Amino acid sequence: MTAQTLLTRAAAQRPPMAAEPPLPVAAPPVRCADTGLYMRIVPLKAYDNPNGRERWHNLAVRALVPNVFYEPEFAIPAMIPFGDDVQLLLIADERGPDVQLLGLLPFRISTRRWGVPLPVAVAWNHPFAALGVPLIDRDRARDTIATLLNAARVLPGMPRRMVLPLIPDHGPFAELLDELLQQDNLRELRLDRYARAILDPPLGARDHYLENKLSSRTRGKMRTELRRIERQGTVTFDTITARDEIDEALEDFLALEAAGWKGRGGTAVSCSPAEIEFLRQTVRNLAACGRVRIDRLRLDGRTLASSIIYLTGDQAWCAKICYDESQAASSPGSQLVMYITSELLADPSIARADSCTPPNRPFMSKFWGEQLPLSNRVIELAGGDPLHPLAAMLEQGRRRLSHALHEFKERRNASQDKRRRKNDDREKQSAPE
């Protein structure tokens, strides 16, 4: 069936633009008849205050699935570079302004995501976010997710379709979502499937985890590489968590990242003043409640590798890592990951760690043996969506184009980086001694 046929058939059933006017800002709560819960939309900015942050944080603590990227400590600073127009879909069991939240989803309504006037609600995603699961109260999870799926019925102006990025294929949220979609005969399409490394050892397997994961040859090679670094001076590993030290450690990380391939390619955080401010505020917010650590491998006080890890309950998120490329032969990044892995395994308060790596980045799989399968989902909301097949088709095309563009940029950047290195080598060879 062609796109034009779908458009013609759907138009005969319901004119999409007439039935989906712009969403009102800060609309009053509306009751969902199916669940008895209330929904409302507010700008994300409206929760950038002590009362809003507290209610938001309290929900995050009770979340069915932890998601640091949708917590206030992270999401509010992310408005700086990524979310000026983001709104919050809120779910509660009462109407009042200060009620306890049961669900929260940051999202946008895009009216021309696919180049045609077909509105879609898109859960917030940006280059620093590695998960798109809404914050859902674990004790009221089923009713809350059911209310979310009723958004198009309940909220004036809400599109009949939703894109949820980076949703795990398994786990409590995925299981309830799949069950409710099947129960109401709602369609979905899963795109961009991939699995990334996580550290989630079986019970009793922590003590010898790395020994079992890495071959004796690999462990021997890494010991040799570490000794190579040690011959140059004093080697130390350190972990920074204190509020009065975290700023310096973050600036150290930013400088190291900027000196590497990301800096040359223009994708380092330091290349964007807005991203620098976002990351500084996020790290300070999380440091204030003891929920961030920066780990470093250092040689005579000079940082050779650095990483930033966020903490939510018993989960760790390995958000960023960089290394000194002049020491690449000694694998400083791998040495740091070995240290981090040992530290996390030895910490009884950490049950699981997520590598947060994008597709086609297998580096962490060398050390972490478990995997988290994810996909982007195009969901038909309750009440039905005659244009869902068209939306799914358009999203597939959009993703193919996005992947092709990303691969082109990767090849171009690699080629440019190779030329720069050759030029640098020529300059060194021709320079007078």
Sign of CA dihedral 395, 191, 44, 121: positive
Query: Is residue 420 assigned to a domain?
Result: no
Q: Residue 275: give the domain boundaries.
A: 201-350
Q: Can you tell me the distance from the alpha carbon of 76 to that of 225, in angstroms, rounded to the nearest whole number? A: 41
Do 226 and 307 lie in a common domain? yes
Do 233 and 338 lie in a common domain? yes
Do 100 and 248 lie in a common domain? no
Q: How many Cα atoms are found within 13 Å in the side-chain-facing hemisphere of 48?
A: 15
Do 206 and 87 lie in a common domain? no
- The Cβ of residue 425 has, within 10 Å, a number of other Cβ atoms equal to 10
Do 178 and 266 lie in a common domain? no
Query: Is residue 367 assigned to a domain?
Result: no
Query: Is residue 181 assigned to a domain?
Result: yes
Q: pLDDT (tens digit, 9 = 90+) per residue, 50-95?
A: 999 999 999 999 999 999 999 999 999 999 999 878 999 999 998 8
Query: Is residue 355 assigned to a domain?
Result: no
Identify the segments of the chain with pLDDT beneath 50.
Answer: 2-4, 6-25
- The encoded tokens of residue 61 equal 């603590």
Q: pLDDT (tens digit, 9 = 90+) per residue, 114-142?
A: 888 899 999 999 999 999 999 999 999 99
- The encoded tokens of residue 92 equal 């509660």
Q: 4-28 burial string, b = 16+ CB within 10 Å, else e? A: eebbeebeeeeebeeebeebeeebe
Do 27 and 170 lie in a common domain? yes
Do 272 and 173 lie in a common domain? no
List phi, psi (to 5°) of 169: -75, -20
Do 265 and 287 lie in a common domain? yes
Specify the pLDDT at position 168.
98
Q: Which long-range contacts (CB under 8 A, 24 or more apart) does 174-182 make?
A: 176/64, 176/141, 176/142, 176/145, 177/145, 180/142, 180/145, 180/146, 180/149, 181/149, 181/379
Contact 321, 268 (CB under 8 A): no
Specify the pLDDT at position 112.
83
Q: How many Cα atoms are found within 13 Å in the side-chain-facing hemisphere of 336?
A: 27
- The encoded tokens of residue 410 equal 């990767």
Number of domains in the chain: 2
Q: Can you tell me the distance from the alpha carbon of 64 to that of 173, in angstroms, rounded to the nearest whole number? A: 7
Specify the pLDDT at position 122.
96
Specify the pLDDT at position 83.
86
Do 135 and 190 lie in a common domain? yes
Q: What global pTM score does this model have?
A: 0.87
Specify the pLDDT at position 4.
47
Do 216 and 176 lie in a common domain? no
Contact 186, 379 (CB under 8 A): yes
Do 87 and 172 lie in a common domain? yes
The CA distances from residue 160 to 11, 12, 21, 117, 406, in Å, are 14, 16, 12, 13, 30
Q: Could you tell me the CATH number of the domain that includes residue 85?
A: 3.40.630.30
Which residue has tokens 């020994």? 211
- The Cβ of residue 223 has, within 10 Å, a number of other Cβ atoms equal to 12
Specify the pLDDT at position 50.
94
Do 311 and 265 lie in a common domain? yes
